[in-house]
Chain A
Amino acid sequence: MIAPEILTGGFSEPVFQSQAVFRQVLDAFARPGRVVAMPSVVTAPSPLFTPTAAFLCTFADEATPVHFEAGLAGGAAAAWVTFHTGAPLAERPDLAQFAIVTDPLALPDLETFALGTQEYPDRSTTIVIQVESLFGGDRFRLEGPGIDGAAEASPAPTPRNFLPALARNRMLFPRGVDLVLAAPDAILALPRSTRVTALRGA
C-alpha cells in the first residue's frame, strides 16, 4: 500500500514551474553565495525541504541516478522522489548524478561521490545538503567565477569537515563535486569553481 503523501505534492504546472525553479538554480550557480529564493511549488515528505524536492523535480529523471544517505534510502522521501521523477536510486554515491544529504553534520567525505574524470569532469555528482538556515553559522569567504570580488556564506549548522573538504574539492578542479545548500525556503550554490576560506572576526 502506497501512502497518499507519496503520490501527491509534485508540480501542478510542470512546464512553467520547472522553468521557474531552473532559472533560480541557474542564478545560484552563476553567482555562488547568492541566497536565491525558491518558489514553493512542491510538497515532499519529511525530511525533504521544498527547495530540495523542487530541485529534484526539475533536474532528475530516469537518466539520473539519485543517492540518498543511509537513513533515507528506504523511506517515504525516496519513494516520493522515485514516483515524481522516475529517477533510479543509486546505491553507491560514486554512481549518483545527484545526492541528497539531510544531516549536514554527517556529510560524507566528498571523495566518496562521483568526481568526474580529467577528460569528462562533468560526470560528477551534484550534492544537495540541507541546512537549517543559510545565515547565522560560521562565516566563509567565497571567491571565484560568478563573484564580483568576494561573497560570503554562513550556513547553519556548518556541514561536517566543511572547509577542508571544500579545499580538497577545489584542488581537484576541473574534477570535483558541486554543492547546493538548501534551507527550507532558499538555496545557495557552491560550484566546484568557488574558493572557500574561513572569515575571521565578525
Chain B
Amino acid sequence: MTIRDESPAADEKRSPYNFAYLDEQTKRMIRRAILKAVAIPGYQVPFASREMPMPYGWGTGGVQVTAAIIGPDDVLKVIDQGADDTTNAVSIRGFFAKTAGVATTTRTTEATIIQTRHRIPEAPLSEDQIIVFQVPIPEPLRFLEPRETETRTMHGLEEYGLVHVKLYEDIARHGHIATTYAYPVKVEGRYVMDPSPIPKFDNPKMDNSPALQLFGAGREKRIYAIPPYSSVKSLDFEDHPFEVQRFEAPCALCAATGVYLDEVILDDRGGRMFVCSDTDNCEQRREAGHTGTAAGIGGESQ
C-alpha cells in the first residue's frame, strides 16, 4: 500500500492532473495512432479525440498530440502564425508548463517539440526536433466532396483528379493558381494531404525535412504524419509550376529577405509596414544588429 504524503508542501507540489493532462489510456490510444500515421505517410488515422479544456479551433488536436509525446526533459515552443506572444501560443505554453512542468522556450533552435498553428519556423529544423501542427480541417478533398465515405474511397483508390480540377479552375479564373494557404501536397507519391493552413510559402520546408512532422485535428478526430526525409510535393501543372509568395520589401524591423512577412496597418491613412511573421527569427536578427526601415517602432512607413 502506498502512503500519501499529506503535508502542505507536498499538497502544493502535487498537480491535480496526470502528467501532461491526458490520462494514460488516452495517451496510449493517441500513441498507437501516431505510430500508424508515421508508418503510412500522409494517411489520416482516425482517433478518439477527447474534450480538452479549450474550445475547438484553438488547437485541441495539436495539444493532444503534444500531450501524448511530451516528456519531462522536453523543451516546448508554441507558435501561432509564427508568433510566440499571441494568446493561443501563450495559453498552450502555459498549459504544458502547468500540467507537465516542462521547460518552454521561444527560441526555435532550443526546442525539442514545436507546436504550431499555421506556420513553420524560418530557422531550419533538426533531426532532434518534432513539429506538431494544429489542423482545423484535415481532409484536402472536403470542400470538393463533403461525404466522408466518398473521400475515403477516393484516397483508397488514389483518385485525386478533383484537386487538380480545383487548381485548374484557379488558373482559368485568375490566370494563376490562386490558392495561397493550405495548399495541397502529395506525400511520398501516394497520399494527397492538407498541410494545415500554413502559407504555401512554407510548403517547400516540409519536403525532405530532417524533423518528424505530426498533425493533429481535434474536432475532426484525425492524426497524420510526415516522417523525416520524405518527399512532399506541392501539386501543380507542368505549364503552371508551384511558386511561393514573394515580397517586394524586406522586413521593416530586421531587414530580413526570403522570409514570410505579415502586413501591419499603422494608421488610417494607408500607412502600413511588412514585418517578419516569425517573431523569434526577427528578434534574433535584431539582436545580431540587423535593422530595418521602421526599427524605431511607431515611426511612419515611407
Interface contact B24-A145, CB-CB below 8 Å: no
Interface contact B152-A145, CB-CB below 8 Å: no
Question: Cβ of B190: which chain A residues have Cβ within 8 Å of it?
Answer: 173-174
The 7 listed contacts between A and B (C-beta, < 8 Å) are A20-B71, A58-B28, A119-B153, A121-B40, A122-B43, A148-B229, A192-B39
**Chain A 161-202 against B: per-residue CB contact (8 Å), 1 yes, 0 no?**
000000000000110001000000000000111000000000
* A-B pairs with lowest CB-CB distance, top 8: A191-B39, A118-B156, A146-B227, A122-B36, A145-B230, A145-B227, A119-B152, A148-B229
A102 an interface residue at 8 Å Cβ cutoff? no
A6 CB → nearest B CB, Å:
21
Question: Closest chain B residue to A85 by CB distance?
Answer: B28
Question: Cβ of A174: which chain B residues have Cβ within 8 Å of it?
Answer: 40, 43, 190-191
Question: Cβ of B226: which chain A residues have Cβ within 8 Å of it?
Answer: 145
For chain B, residues 66 to 109, give those with C-beta under 8 angstroms from any C-beta of chain A: 68-72
For chain A, residues 44 to 81, give those with C-beta under 8 angstroms from any C-beta of chain B: 58-59, 61, 63-64
Question: Cβ of B31: which chain A residues have Cβ within 8 Å of it?
Answer: 22, 26, 58-59
**Chain A 87-129 against B: per-residue CB contact (8 Å), 1 yes, 0 no?**
0000000000100000000000000000001111110101000
Complex CA distance for A31 and B212, rounded to whole angstroms: 9
What's the tally of chain A residues with a CB closer than 8 Å to chain B? 38
**Chain B 215-231 against A: per-residue CB contact (8 Å), 1 yes, 0 no?**
00000000000111111
Known A26-B69, A193-B188; judge A15-B18 contact (CB<8 A).
Answer: yes
A25 CB → nearest B CB, Å:
7
Complex CA distance for A16 and B101, rounded to whole angstroms: 13
Complex CA distance for A122 and B228, rounded to whole angstroms: 20
For chain B, residues 243 to 268, give those with C-beta under 8 angstroms from any C-beta of chain A: none
Question: Cβ of B152: which chain A residues have Cβ within 8 Å of it?
Answer: 119-120
A41 CB → nearest B CB, Å:
13
Known A16-B72, A22-B69, A23-B71; judge A145-B18 contact (CB<8 A).
Answer: no
Complex CA distance for A173 and B190, rounded to whole angstroms: 9
Interface contact B71-A16, CB-CB below 8 Å: yes
Question: Cβ of A118: which chain B residues have Cβ within 8 Å of it?
Answer: 156-157
In the complex, which of the residues B212, B226, B227 has the most CB atoms of chain A within 10 Å of its own CB atom?
B227
A156 an interface residue at 8 Å Cβ cutoff? no
Complex CA distance for A187 and B240, rounded to whole angstroms: 45
Complex CA distance for A144 and B228, rounded to whole angstroms: 10
Question: Closest chain A residue to B71 by CB distance?
Answer: A19
Interface contact B29-A16, CB-CB below 8 Å: no
A18 an interface residue at 8 Å Cβ cutoff? yes
Question: Cβ of A145: which chain B residues have Cβ within 8 Å of it?
Answer: 41, 188, 226-231
Interface contact A15-B24, CB-CB below 8 Å: yes
Interface contact A26-B153, CB-CB below 8 Å: no
- Indicate which residue in A15, A64, A191 contacts B19 across the interface (CB closer than 8 Å): A15
Interface contact B24-A119, CB-CB below 8 Å: no
Complex CA distance for A178 and B34, rounded to whole angstroms: 13
Interface contact A26-B229, CB-CB below 8 Å: no
Complex CA distance for A146 and B69, rounded to whole angstroms: 18
A14 an interface residue at 8 Å Cβ cutoff? yes
Interface contact A29-B32, CB-CB below 8 Å: no
Complex CA distance for A126 and B32, rounded to whole angstroms: 10
B186 an interface residue at 8 Å Cβ cutoff? no
Question: Cβ of B230: which chain A residues have Cβ within 8 Å of it?
Answer: 145-146
Complex CA distance for A173 and B42, rounded to whole angstroms: 13
Complex CA distance for A58 and B25, rounded to whole angstroms: 10
B167 an interface residue at 8 Å Cβ cutoff? no
Interface contact A64-B39, CB-CB below 8 Å: no
A30 an interface residue at 8 Å Cβ cutoff? yes
